[in-house]
């Protein structure tokens, strides 16, 4: 009954925590009752394909979970952009992004204030509003695209990993790991087209942002761009970052055409991740990431203090990111090796079975 567990788990993940266990138990019971009923009619066990067909009839786990939720809010501007199915996820992602943005902006302001820089109220407000607007626009565009896909193709999802319900879960790595245990056919579930489209959109936005930062440091430094500017290292790593982002877009595009190229994705992700880690390491090694906007001997002690504080904050941030990223890369490599071993084991078992026949 692995398929049933996967389905129930996918529904449960989209449910409010307080109802999760209760609804999952009842849903699981209902599915098992239906399967047993069907088995009695047929006088035999159901095949995995028949089990899958029964589960498919129940619909996309995301849509099913939404029917249990009391919260039926949506985002509508003229037409419905984000419906009740995705709205709770939209709010979560948006809150996280906006919260993070405000914390970063707040930290920059504090650093500047601590170093004696005077900040105009207009600067503070305009910076916050611009950053919040950018975040809001990006998250809304991505979610409305996913919503459009869900509305147009509510039945386009697969139990073995891809599509609507499961692919939208943010704990992607955990899901992949859980699925390896059940997957006996190959390298893992097919690559979700929804995931590929999301990556293409997200990377497209990232390319626009990275390119914009070159000319408008305001996009990354916020109000601090009046006093600070990016160190030369950022301009040196611009092309490697651009290359990696474009490589990820190409990879996602290929997987959009060929979702069955799972091994291709696994290898590409490791390569891109390793490339990203190399760039991050080069960035970390640079030691200085921002410099005073007014160079030379005119730089006051206050300016120098602000630059030092911001560089310190960036140092710890970068160090943390590099360590985290290195850990994730190791995890991905181990994951690939496990899959490879599993693949070999299954091929060996198949060969032995064929010899036996």
Interface residue list for another protein (CB under 8 A)? 23, 25-27, 29-30, 32-34, 37, 58-59, 63-64, 67-68
Between 52 and 308, whose beta carbon lies closer to another protein?
A: 52
Q: Shortest gap between Cβ of 33 and another protein (angstroms)?
A: 4
DSSP state, 77? E
Local structure of 92: helix, strand or coil: helix
Between 83 and 259, whose beta carbon lies closer to another protein?
A: 83
Q: Shortest gap between Cβ of 182 and another protein (angstroms)?
A: 22
Q: Shortest gap between Cβ of 71 and another protein (angstroms)?
A: 12
30-37 contacts at long range (C-beta below 8 A, 24 or more positions apart): 31/4, 31/7, 31/55, 31/58, 32/1, 32/4, 35/1, 35/4
Residues 6+ apart with CB under 8 A from 107: 313
Between 59 and 212, whose beta carbon lies closer to another protein?
A: 59
| Other beta carbons within 10 Å of 151 | 11
Between 7 and 234, whose beta carbon lies closer to another protein?
A: 7
Q: Read off the tokens for 12.
A: 């449960």
Pair 86, 143: CB distance under 8 Å: yes
Q: Shortest gap between Cβ of 90 and another protein (angstroms)?
A: 21
Range list of H helices, the chain: 2-13, 17-42, 48-57, 61-68, 87-114, 121-152, 164-167, 172-182, 193-215, 218-221, 232-236, 238-257, 262-286, 301-356
Between 16 and 204, whose beta carbon lies closer to another protein?
A: 16
Residues 6+ apart with CB under 8 A from 88: 69, 71
Q: Read off the tokens for 154.
A: 């509510």
Pair 94, 82: CB distance under 8 Å: no
Q: Shortest gap between Cβ of 30 and another protein (angstroms)?
A: 5
Between 68 and 315, whose beta carbon lies closer to another protein?
A: 68
Q: Shortest gap between Cβ of 32 and another protein (angstroms)?
A: 7
Q: Shortest gap between Cβ of 145 and another protein (angstroms)?
A: 23
Between 40 and 181, whose beta carbon lies closer to another protein?
A: 40
The count of residues in the chain is: 357
């Amino acid at each position: 009954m692995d398929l049933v567990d996967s389905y129930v788990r996918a529904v449960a993940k989209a449910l409010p925590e307080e109802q999760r266990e209760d609804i999952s138990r009842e849903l699981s019971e209902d599915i098992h009752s239906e399967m047993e009923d069907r088995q009695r009619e047929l006088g035999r066990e159901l095949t995995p394909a028949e089990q899958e067909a029964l589960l498919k009839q129940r619909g996309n786990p995301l849509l099913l979970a939404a029917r249990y939720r009391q919260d039926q809010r949506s985002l509508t501007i003229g037409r419905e952009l984000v419906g009740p199915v995705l709205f709770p996820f939209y709010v979560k992602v948006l809150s996280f992004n906006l919260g993070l943005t405000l914390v970063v902006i707040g930290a920059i302001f504090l650093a500047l204030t601590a170093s004696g820089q005077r900040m105009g109220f207009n600067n503070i407000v305009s910076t916050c509003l611009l950053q919040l607007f950018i975040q809001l626009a990006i998250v809304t565009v991505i979610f409305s695209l996913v919503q459009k896909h869900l509305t147009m193709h509510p039945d386009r999802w697969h139990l073995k990993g891809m599509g609507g319900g499961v692919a939208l879960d943010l704990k992607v790595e955990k899901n992949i790991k859980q699925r390896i245990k059940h997957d006996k056919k190959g390298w893992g579930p097919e690559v979700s087209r929804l995931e590929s489209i999301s990556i293409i959109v997200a990377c497209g936005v990232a390319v626009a942002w990275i390119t914009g930062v070159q000319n408008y440091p305001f996009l990354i430094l916020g109000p601090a761009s009046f006093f600070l500017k990016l160190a030369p290292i950022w301009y040196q790593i611009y092309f490697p970052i651009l290359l990696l982002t474009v490589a990820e877009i190409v990879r996602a595009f290929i997987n959009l055409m060929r979702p069955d190229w799972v091994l291709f994705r696994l290898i590409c992700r490791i390569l891109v991740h390793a490339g990203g880690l190399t760039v991050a390491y080069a960035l970390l090694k640079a030691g200085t990431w921002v410099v005073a906007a007014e160079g030379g001997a005119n730089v006051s002690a206050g300016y120098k203090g602000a630059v030092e504080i911001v560089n310190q904050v960036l140092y710890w941030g970068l160090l943390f990111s590099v360590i985290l990223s290195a850990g994730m890369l190791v995890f991905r490599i181990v994951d690939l090796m496990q899959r490879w071993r599993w693949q070999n084991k299954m091929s060996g078992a198949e060969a032995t079975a064929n010899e036996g026949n």
